[in-house]
A and B are shown apart, each in its own frame.
Chain A
Amino acid sequence: AQRVTQPEKLLSVFKGAPVELKCNYSYSGSPELFWYVQYSRQRLQLLLRHISRESIKGFTADLNKGETSFHLKKPFAQEEDSAMYYCALSDTGNQFYFGTGTSLTVIP
């Protein structure tokens, strides 16, 4: 069975501090992994995809197959980063599995 785990429901960091949102997955094949973000009163939106190896809004995420992790990182947190973050996994059947989300608060 596929599963995505986000161990932290809540995470608070100070502005300018590094932030890491953890995501671990269990999947027997080669997963497609994503991070989605939901800002206050806005719709859920795609932040980044592991396949693109991109950096969006200063965030990066590296797929570590050995540790089955896809942690989201940013070296210097900004207040506008405060939001709900969801890690998601897609299997070869195009079915998405979302983690339960981590609420990030950046303290000014």
Chain B
Amino acid sequence: KAGVTQTPRYLIKTRGQQVTLSCSPISGHRSVSWYQQTPGQGLQFLFEYFSETQRNKGNFPGRFSGRQFSNSRSEMNVSTLELGDSALYLCASSLRQDSNYGYTFGSGTRLTVV
């Protein structure tokens, strides 16, 4: 079966713009999480959704938001982009409601803010 699919793979945006990233989880997976990966900070948790509800949110400013649709697909949005938002954004999905099962990651969207 198909893995976690993230689109687009690469994005270049200018400061002040906004961006929307998309994630399609593995079929049947209802939990979707988003992470920001940078060389300096490593992997940082953004938020997690289950059945269209945001259950957890990391320590990121309100410019970062997300949502999940009824088909479990998820989007994250970053408004008023800053240079420091340049990163690899990873989406991960999980079959179960709890975290014991672990997550399957997508390949990520590489965002560059210039």
Give residues in A with beta carbon < 8 Å to B: 32, 34, 36, 43-46, 49, 51, 86, 90, 93-101
Contacts and interface: CB of A to CB of B under 8 A. Distances in A.
B45 A43 contact: no
Main secondary structure of the interface of B (DSSP, over half): strand
Tell which of A43, A100, A101 has the most Cβ of chain B within 10 Å. Answer: A43
Nearest to B98: A94
Contacts, number: 54
Interface residues of B, number: 27
A60 to B, nearest CB: 16
21 contacts: A32-B99, A32-B100, A34-B102, A43-B106, A43-B107, A43-B108, A45-B104, A49-B100, A86-B43, A94-B31, A94-B55, A94-B97, A94-B99, A95-B45, A95-B56, A95-B58, A96-B33, A97-B45, A98-B44, A98-B45, A101-B43
Given A90-B99, A101-B42, A44 B90 contact: yes
A46 B102 contact: yes
Tell which of A36, A94, A98, A100 has the most Cβ of chain B within 10 Å. Answer: A94
Given A94-B56, A94-B97, A101-B43, 12 more contacts: A32-B100, A36-B105, A43-B3, A43-B106, A43-B107, A44-B92, A45-B105, A46-B102, A49-B102, A93-B56, A94-B98, A94-B99
Interface of B: 3, 31, 33, 35, 42-45, 48, 50, 55-56, 58, 90, 92, 97-108
Main secondary structure of the interface of A (DSSP, over half): strand
A11 B48 CA distance: 32
A86 B92 CA distance: 15
A44 B35 CA distance: 12
Given A94-B56, A95-B48, A95-B58, A46 B103 contact: yes
A98 B31 contact: no
B43 A94 contact: no
A73 B103 CA distance: 21
A45 B90 CA distance: 12
